Amino acid sequence: MTTPVRRQYLHFKARHPDAILFFRLGDFYETFDEDAELVSRELGITLTSKPMGAGLRVPLAGVPVRNVDHHLARLIERGHRVAICEQLEDPRASRKLVRRGVVRVVSPGTALEPTLLEAGEPSACAAVHVERERRRLRIGLASADVTTGRFQVCELIQTAADSDPSELWELLRDQLQRFGVRELLVSDGFGSDESGDPAPPPDLGIEPHPRPARDFRRDRAEAALQSQYSAPAAAFGLDERPATLSAVGALLAYLNDALPQLEDELESQYSSFRHLEAPQLVIPEARLQWDAATERALALVDTGPGAGSPGMPRTLFDVLDRCASVLGRRWLRAALLSPLLDQARIERRLDRIEALLRRQPLRRSLAAELRDIPDLERLLGRAATGIASPADLAALARGLIAAGELTSQIERAVDQAGEDVLVSLVEPMRRVPESARLLAQTLVERPPAEYGQGVIRAGIDAAVDRAAARIDAANERLAKLESQLRGESGINNLKVGYHRTFGHYIELRRGQARLAPEGWERRQSLRDRERYSEPRLREIAEELTAAQIALAEAERECVEQLRVALVGDSGIILRSAGAIARLDAACALADLAADHAWTRPQIEVSGELEIAAGRHPVVEAAAAQGAFVPNDLQLSDDGLHAPQLLLVTGPNMAGKSTYLRQAALIVILAQMGAYVPAESARIGLVDRIFARVGAHDDLAAGRSTFLVEMLETARLLHGATDRSLILLDEIGRGTSTWDGLAIAQAVAEELASESSRPRRGPRTLFATHFHELTALAGAMPRIANAAVEVEEDEQGKIQFLHSIRPGAADRSYGVQVAAQAGIPAGVVARAAELLRELESGDRNARAGKRSRRSLSGRRSAATPQLMLMPPPTHPVLQDLAELDIDGMTPLEAISALYALRDQAQRELRTIAPDVAAGGGS
Ligand code: ADP
Ligand code: MG
């Protein structure tokens, strides 16, 4: 025979087989059987056992309710899901088996506990559905952030039946990252070849969680939308996007399972994800796009742990984030990762900053008040799902009221100048929901964490007041009883007290025990004291417990009604939170602009990019005051009055990479609607940014450095449009010099070639250590050279000036840098000597004299003749451009590369026979 509790446990466990069941027993969540073994292993807590029936002992491991969040966080982080089974009634009120129910299932995408979340980052749960329509692949993606209520969907479609599907998967991966997806649901058959779909990429950045295929059925999706929003799929534009509709359905089904409806209506009146806004259709092409490699290269936001000295900004977001509220911080981060293409919207954001810049005192006081506004979105999420404490609800209500008060402050400040961008921005905050006001009036200033301890002000709710009066009366009787007992027994120092486990007692000193009257019953013996009970005391204690339970119930019921009303206003609350976020972010950006002399960019629809005295915000912030050297930049897609492709040369550490990145950062800032670190900037809207940094490692993914570089370069050559901005930083480094040079040149030629890109091409910055490439500027009209200036002092020591000037660098200063880096003097002297030899050898070679050079011929492979070949017909270029790199295995890629290299060598042999001999290996 098993115990009733055991049977109850097994009942719930059977309903949640793929989750760990946290079973509430008093002050603990207990786990049993395999769950207990797992939990004890994962959390490092002791595994014990518990008798649960005749001859039955089951493994047991429990965590205290008090710090359950911490343990949940560990389990969720390790990829587990946890079903939480609560006591649905006060165990004190029930003599039978306590009623229990699973109130929610916690997983990475449905977690609501602050310890499980990054305050400043989104936390979404997403579903993906793949379909094939007329031989083209469609990927539907639905992503909901239950912590904030944001619900975004998009559909990715293969451009042509024969185009490379891996590009589509790459797009999906980027999108998942932008939505902040922490849990990904896919259909059972996902990735299997049965459906005939091409295999998804090995790495979507997240381990998918399979769900039954029926969850993805469209009729179910329709029904789910009806029940959540009382509207058909067509109302959200989903009737034309069947793959997305399926994903939405599966996502809603999963979320509903995560908050199972309890049998008892009262408890679950409104615990749901009702606060989810209607699904918003996101069109990736409507935003400035980039891929993961670019994001890494530009260090926009932190992705994962990394070194870095504390206090030093490492990412652009570190520099930008001067937000006073979490709402602002999260919005700003999202805005940074999703800059706009719509000029009007960009200008609107810029207008707000400008309006705030003009009003420093207003900005100051706003910042102070915004600091007190809590995370309204996540509090609403907790309220909607029923896990908000009375303190959470009070914070939410007070935050909304404070937001309402902010609007009048802004209206007053703005009135005098007749400005209205700010007034219209904060408009949604003005309307404080009635439910919030009621909550604030109802709850005490600082509500305790639990019901039954005075959550509600006196005079608001009759049932609450009645229960409170009962408690007072009982306490009074208790006090009276104490003096009565003293009188009766003649023991003047006896005390009536209370213990959590043993309840109320009468306490005597040990030595007084013999004085205890007849009717007293001994309950507990301590070292020097004895505790008793007595009929009148028992009667009052029972009345007190009953009154306390009544109070807890009355309070809960009263708050519950208000909570339901508040969640009903979630639309207003989310709009208000959105306005606060934008206001806070605008204040932060205005503040930054004021402190560091950032300026408003001029946005236009054109192929121009013109930056005067631009700076790299992160490098500048890390440098000593005033040490950063600003630089100008001019690019133009037609190459007429400014180069389309600028080749930047200069020694190591001169500032090439910094110069490239600052251009991209300024464009991103401008298009997210922020001021920029420059004296002035004219930004022709950019649709995509590609940043490629040569020779960086991706060994973890099992791919060679060079192959990765080439894969990325291939994507760039396919994906760049005339409106794109490209940064190529030392590409071609991961292979032998000749290969690298050949590829770098071929890529540069392709990007600026008039045959493959007539009239216009992507604006491109190309930093390279291959001096040889500078000759391209003479051969191709849209290419120009620039160099980072260095100065050599008397001792031959070089000074980095970090300023960019037109023209090619004269040489690479490698030997000087080596000396400054501490290479022993002897080695440096020898290197200088070799260099002289090589350079003269080089001249000899050019003069036609044969000189024997083997590998050392690398340094000055100066073959301007090579550059003067008519570029567009170069066979290496042709072959390179036609390579289908994404469709190759690493082995095929390597052999293709060898072939290219051999071909390049053959070419060179016909031009400069002695030089080519040294290129191989
Ligand atoms: P390169 O790519 O030419 O090797 P980097 O761009 O990596 O050089 O710059 C090397 C270092 O020089 C940077 O870390 C920074 O400290 C400094 N630096 C770069 N550009 C500037 C500048 N414009 N003003 C001041 N310091 C700079
Ligand atoms: Mg560099």
Of 385-399, 553-567, 682-696, the poorest mean pLDDT is in: 682-696
Average pLDDT over every residue of 149-174 = 86
Indicate whether residue 629 lines ligand 1 (CB < 6 A). yes
Q: What's the predicted TM-score (pTM) here?
A: 0.83
Specify the pLDDT at position 602: 98
The ligand minimizing its distance to the Cα of 661 is 1
- Model confidence at 142, pLDDT cuts 50, 70, 90, reads very high
What average pLDDT does the structure give for the chain? 86
What's residue 697's pLDDT? Answer: 43
Highest mean pLDDT among 311-320, 654-663, 853-862: 654-663
Q: What is the pLDDT of residue 265?
A: 44
Rounded to an integer, the average pLDDT of 50-54 is 85
User: Which one, of 370, 279, 275, 274, lies nearest residue 322 by Cα?
Assistant: 370
3 state DSSP class of 509: strand
Nearest Cα to 602, choosing from 535, 540, 684, 528?
684
Ligand 1 close to Cβ of residue 658 (< 6 A): yes
Q: Does any ligand 1 atom lie closer than 6 A to the CB of residue 802? A: yes
More reliable by pLDDT, 251 or 103: 251
Banded pLDDT at 782 (limits 50, 70, 90): very high
The per-residue pLDDT for range 435-490, each reduced to its tens digit, is 999 999 999 999 998 888 899 999 999 999 999 999 999 999 999 999 999 988 88
Per residue in 29-44, pLDDT (tens digit) is 999 999 999 999 999 9
Whether residue 136 is predicted with pLDDT greater than 90 in this model: the reply is no
User: What is the per-residue pLDDT for 906?
Assistant: 76
Q: How confident is the model at residue 538 (pLDDT cuts 50, 70, 90)?
A: very high
Q: Of all residues in the chain, what percent carry a pLDDT higher than 90?
A: 52
- Quick one: how many helices (H) and strands (E) in the chain? 29, 26
Amino acid 319: pLDDT: 96
DSSP-derived letter for residue 753 is -
Q: Residue 261: its pLDDT value, please? A: 63
* DSSP codes, 555-602: HHHHHHHHHHHHHHTHHHHHHHHHHHHHHHHHHHHHHHHHHHT-BPPE
Query: In this structure, what token pair is assigned to residue 391?
Result: 């303190």
Q: Kindly give the distance from the C-alpha atom of residue 674 to the centroid of ligand 1, in angstroms, as a whole number.
A: 24
CB atoms within 10 A of CB 472: 11
Position 160 confidence tier, pLDDT thresholds 50, 70, 90: confident
Average pLDDT over residues 835-839: 73
Q: What pLDDT, in 10s, does the model give residues 394-436?
A: 999 999 999 999 998 888 887 765 568 898 999 999 999 999 9
Taking the CA of residue 631 as reference, the ligand 1 atom at the shortest distance is 23
Q: What is the 3-class SS of 190-254, one letter each residue? A: CCCHHHCCCCCCCCCCCCEEEECHHHHCHHHHHHHHHHHHCCCHHHHCCCCCHHHHHHHHHHHHH
pLDDT of residue 910: 64
pLDDT, residue 723, reads 96
β-pairing verdict for 725-729 and 763-767:
parallel
Q: What is the pLDDT of residue 849?
A: 38
Give distance in angstroms: CA of 628 to centre of ligand 1. 9
Buried b or exposed e, range 128-150, using 16+ CB within 10 angstroms:
bbbbeeeebbbbbbbbbbbbbbb
Cβ-based neighbours of 93, under 8 Å, separated by 6 or more: 549
Backbone phi, psi, residue 377, to 5°? -65, -50
Asked if residue 582 has its Cβ within 6 Å of ligand 1, the reply is no
| Residue nearest atom 19 of ligand 1, based on CA coordinates | 655
Cβ of 627 below 6 Å from ligand 1: yes
Please state, in angstroms and rounded to a whole number, the distance separating the CA atoms of residues 195 and 545: 62
Q: Which burial class, exposed, middle or buried, applies to 428 when counting CB atoms under 10 A from its CB (0-12, 13-18, 19+)?
A: buried
Q: Are 369 and 402 in contact (CB under 8 A)?
A: yes
Ligand 1 center to 376 CA (angstroms): 42
Residue 653 in contact with ligand 1 by CB distance below 6 A: yes
- Could you give the percent of the chain with pLDDT greater than 70? 89
Question: Of the given ranges (95-109, 194-208, 308-322, 631-645), which has the lowest mean pLDDT?
Answer: 194-208
Ligand 1 centroid to residue 802 C-alpha, Å: 7
Ligand 1 centre to CA of 634 (Å) is: 19
What are the tens digits of pLDDT across the range 216-225?
Answer: 999 999 999 9
pLDDT score for 293: 84
pLDDT in tens, 478-532: 999 999 999 888 888 899 999 887 889 999 998 888 888 888 888 888 888 999 9
Ligand 1 site-directed mutation target among 619, 733, 804, most atoms within 8 Å of CB: 619
Going by alpha carbons, the residue nearest to atom 13 of ligand 1 is 655
Of the pLDDT bands very low, low, confident and very high (cuts 50, 70, 90), residue 699 is very low
Please, which pLDDT band fits residue 916 given cuts at 50, 70 and 90? very low
- Model confidence over 340-380: pLDDT tens digits? 999 999 999 999 999 999 999 999 999 999 999 999 999 99
Query: ∠ CA(355), CA(360), CA(366), 5° rounding?
Result: 85
Per-residue pLDDT, 390 = 92
Stretch 236-241: mean pLDDT: 91
Nearest to 671 by CA among 344, 345, 347, 339: 339
- Asked if the model's pLDDT at residue 733 lies above 90, the reply is no
List the one residue out of 752, 746, 787 whose CA is nearest residue 645: 752
Among 323-327, 422-426, 738-742, the minimum mean pLDDT is found in 738-742
DSSP conformation class of 883: -
The predicted pLDDT at position 197 comes to 55
Count of Cβ atoms closer than 10 Å to residue 111 Cβ = 25
Average pLDDT over residues 725-731: 92
